[in-house]
Structure 1
Amino acid sequence: MDDGRADFDFFIGRWRVHHHRLVGRLVGSTRWEDFAGVTETRKILGGLGNMDENVLELPAGTYQAVTVRLFDPARGLWTIYWIDGRQTAVDPPMIGRFADGVGEFFGDDTLEGRAVRVRFRWFVDDQDHCRWEQAFSPDGEQTWETNWTMAFERG
């Protein structure tokens, strides 16, 4: 079935991750930090979803997190939830789909009490390499600041 439910099938398995994260968000920062991580993804709900477990090796200390992705066949949309192990809270959902080989997902959140629009993008380079990026917009999607990228390599 090609309704979108297989869009994240490329991501099933174990990945080494190179994180590249902007140190200060929406403050004009140009300083980035790099760190490693590991992600392992599996299907759930008979293929209507997937989840990954993440180990992020931040310079300030390692932590764990989980992503849960659920597909709505009626709307053809994915909803993505991030659960940060340091706070054990679920971030606001990101909603979107893949089109022309790129996944775009949008949601609303706050940064230090300030409303921001959030965008995730997924790029599949080949069966063993993919990329993710996160950007924030403080002005209703007029401008975007990319603040985190991840490069994934299978293994």
Structure 2
Amino acid sequence: MSENDFNFLHGRWRVANRKVADIVGRGTEWVEFETRAEARPLLGGAAIIDSVFANDWEGMTLRQYDPAADVWRIWWASTRAPGHLDPPLEGRFTDGHGVFLGDDEVGGHAVKVRFDWTPGDEPVWEQRFSYDGGETWEPNWIMRFTRA
């Protein structure tokens, strides 16, 4: 675990997205679309910022490593919620797999949020929500990255 954990993400990407169409309503219909992304290191490698570009929205992620706590924190913001920065998720990589957890509110309901990162030449990010305190997890967004 180090400030180099997200180095695999540096650069430009084509991103295949598979997402639940209505996350707020806990829908079951999935939609697929492509985005592009670009990630770069900041603060001497202890942080990474990326931008995600879709046809009708733009998002950004800030990830920052805290060496004292030995964790990464991840924040998300997008043009779909102007002026809003989501609460951070916190976690680490273990045995080549990153798990990051946090609390948020979706559609007026408290949820636990989980990000899973599988690094590599074609990284995969998955988002899951839990409405029962982490007993069960519902996947709702998967992103597969390919170098642009």
TM-score (normalised: structure 2): 0.94
1:86-129 Cα offsets, whole Å, 9 max, x none, are: 323111101000001110000000111110000000012x32x0
Q: Aligned pair count?
A: 147
Gaps of 5+ in 2: none
| Greater per-residue strand proportion | 1
- Root-mean-square deviation (CA), in Å? 1.3
Question: Structure 2 counterpart of 1:24, which letter?
Answer: D
What SS does the aligned partner of 2:51 have? strand
C-alpha contact (below 8 Å) 1:78/1:96 kept by paired residues:
yes
Q: CA deviation at 1:23?
A: 1.6
Gaps of 5+ in 1: none
Q: CA deviation at 1:83?
A: 1.1
Q: CA deviation at 1:26?
A: 7.1
Q: CA deviation at 1:24?
A: 2.8
Q: Indicate yes or no: 2:78 matched with 1:80.
A: no
Task: Provide the C-alpha distance between the structure 1 equivalents of 2:86 and 2:33, rounded to a whole number of angstroms.
Answer: 22
| Alignment of structure 1 residues 61-100 onto 2, 5 Å | 62-86=56-80, 87-100=82-95
TM-score (normalised: structure 1): 0.90
Question: Structure 1 counterpart of 2:127, which letter?
Answer: Q
C-alpha contact (below 8 Å) 2:115/2:128 kept by paired residues:
yes
Q: Indicate yes or no: 2:100 matched with 1:102.
A: no
Task: Provide the C-alpha distance between the structure 1 equivalents of 2:95 and 2:118, rounded to a whole number of angstroms.
Answer: 10
Q: 1:56 to 1:88 in 2, by over 3 A?
A: farther
Task: Provide the C-alpha distance between the structure 1 equivalents of 2:145 and 2:95, rounded to a whole number of angstroms.
Answer: 20
C-alpha contact (below 8 Å) 1:26/1:145 kept by paired residues:
no
What SS does the aligned partner of 1:92 have? coil
Q: Indicate yes or no: 2:7 matched with 1:9.
A: yes
Task: Provide the C-alpha distance between the structure 2 equivalents of 1:92 and 1:55, rounded to a whole number of angstroms.
Answer: 21
Task: Provide the C-alpha distance between the structure 2 equivalents of 1:104 and 1:97, rounded to a whole number of angstroms.
Answer: 6
- Identity value in percent: 41
